[in-house]
Amino acid sequence: MAKILLFGRSGQLGWELAHTLAPLGELTVLGSTDVDFAHPEAIRAAVRAAHPSLIVNAAAYTAVDKAESEPDLAWAINAEAPGILAEEAARTGSLLVHYSTDYVFDGARSAPYIETDPTNPLNVYGKTKLGGEQAIARATAGPAGRYLILRTSWVYGARGSNFLLTMLRMAKERSELRIVDDQVGAPTSSEAIAQATAAILARVFAEGSAQAGTRSQPPAEPTLPADWSGIYHLTCSGAASWFDFASEFLTRRAAVTGAPIPTLIPIPTSEFPRPARRPANSQLCCELVCETFGVTLPTWQQALQRVLDQTP
Ligand SMILES: NC(=O)c1ccc[n+]([C@@H]2O[C@H](COP(=O)([O-])OP(=O)(O)OC[C@H]3O[C@@H](n4cnc5c(N)ncnc54)[C@H](OP(=O)(O)O)[C@@H]3O)[C@@H](O)[C@H]2O)c1
């Protein structure tokens, strides 16, 4: 049975992954109190103690605005730590699964971004996440190196810190909400990402069983063909602005609770200045992950309804 080491226990995505990855092997889940990603030796020691054949990293420095004033800490967690995980994975021939972001792009493209489009992050968070992608590619450059980097966008869920929960709270406190309407992306639930990750990995495990000539259940070990190693875009389908997203969930919520909906006012980004610049176009084309692994995420509206059903 495969040994799986998951980082990011209490995060939005890590929490969901702890459920969806459990059927695939013997799962160890660690949080920042177990291993602080600012300490490289602690990362190495944790990986060496666990002997995993699969490492899944959902830990990250995700405070996009705060990163502008804490670039060194964000770099240590988002760029250096994933590089160390990749070095450890390559040393033992294990597979690393890591998450990245739409914020590696500048948003100037008018169409959805594909994986090979040039990156040009606008903010410190995006630069550090790009640094993580590059560190992983460097560390796994040898023949044993295998990785999957899944770039996603606008992550939210029924728990944690996210736009949906913030807006639901503010809707109870205010009669009017002003919401940015000129940034477009795909709201993607942590649940949908975790389910898709498990489906991708099930495909990778099946490949391992096929190569070993067995049909063991659960499958023995993840085996990623070299030409599958790399970066994939993984978001819900469709596109929305923050205003569209908020309008949709506040309307659906009100239909259930009967609570009044605040007046929603669409505003340009220029009327909501923040420390970190955001890309205007965050859309990611997800055809490659579908072609390679047969995995498609639901529409953002379908994923939203599932999350609303779980939100108290
Ligand atoms: N949130 C988004 O909108 C978004 C968009 C695109 C891509 N992503 C990417 O998706 C992935 C998952 O994001 P998320 O939304 O689930 O993040 P999240 O909810 O903010 O969770 C981040 C996780 O990282 C851990 N962490 C933070 N600092 C750490 C440290 N010094 N050492 C070890 N662990 C540390 C946190 O642990 P504690 O809770 O114990 O502190 C937490 O488990 C990340 O790679 C992120 O960059 C997120």
Going by CA atoms, what residue is nearest to atom 39 of ligand 1? 10
From first to last of its 312 residues, the chain has per-residue pLDDT tens of 899 999 999 999 999 999 999 999 999 999 999 999 999 999 999 999 999 999 999 999 999 999 999 999 999 999 999 999 999 999 989 999 999 999 999 999 999 999 999 999 999 999 999 999 999 999 998 777 799 999 999 999 999 999 999 999 999 999 999 999 999 999 999 999 999 999 999 999 887 677 766 555 555 678 888 889 999 999 999 999 999 999 999 999 999 998 889 999 999 999 999 999 999 999 999 999 999 999 999 999 999 999 999 987
Which helix (H) or strand (E) segment is 306 a member of?
helix 300-310
Q: Are 158 and 310 in contact (CB under 8 A)?
A: yes
Going by CA atoms, what residue is nearest to atom 17 of ligand 1? 11
Q: Indicate the SS3 state at residue 37.
A: coil
Among 274, 275, 278, residue whose Cα is nearest residue 69: 275
125 is catalytic: yes
The closest-lying atom of ligand 1 relative to the alpha carbon of residue 33 is: 40
Q: How far apart are CA 229 and CA 140, in angstroms?
A: 10
Going by CA atoms, what residue is nearest to atom 38 of ligand 1? 32
Q: How far apart are CA 37 and CA 85, in angstroms?
A: 10
Q: How far apart are CA 4 and CA 20, in angstroms?
A: 12
Cis peptide before 218 (omega within 30 of 0): yes
Q: What's the confidence (pLDDT) of residue 174?
A: 94
**Measured in angstroms, how far is the CA atom of residue 15 from the centroid of ligand 1?**
10
Q: What share of the chain is helix, strand, coil (3-state, %, to 5)?
A: 45, 15, 40
- In testing the pocket of ligand 1, which one of 15, 16, 36, 62 has its CB within 8 Å of the most ligand atoms? 62
**Measured in angstroms, how far is the CA atom of residue 257 from the centroid of ligand 1?**
31
Q: What's the confidence (pLDDT) of residue 144?
A: 72
**Measured in angstroms, how far is the CA atom of residue 256 from the centroid of ligand 1?**
31
The closest-lying atom of ligand 1 relative to the alpha carbon of residue 37 is: 32
Q: What's the confidence (pLDDT) of residue 222?
A: 83
User: What is the signed CA dihedral for 47, 50, 54, 57, rounded to 10 degrees?
Assistant: -50
Q: Are 58 and 17 in contact (CB under 8 A)?
A: yes
The torsion region of residue 80 among left (phi > 0), alpha (psi -120 to 50) and beta comes to alpha
Q: How far apart are CA 231 and CA 254, in angstroms?
A: 39
Q: What's the confidence (pLDDT) of residue 312?
A: 77
Annotated active-site residue in 125, 147, 156, 232: 125
Q: How many other C-beta atoms can be found within 10 angstroms of the C-beta atom of residue 274?
A: 12
**Measured in angstroms, how far is the CA atom of residue 77 from the centroid of ligand 1?**
10
**Measured in angstroms, how far is the CA atom of residue 60 from the centroid of ligand 1?**
4
Q: Are 157 and 16 in contact (CB under 8 A)?
A: yes
Residues framing ligand 1 (Cβ under 6 A): 8-14, 31-32, 35-38, 58-62, 77, 99, 101, 129, 152-155, 160, 190
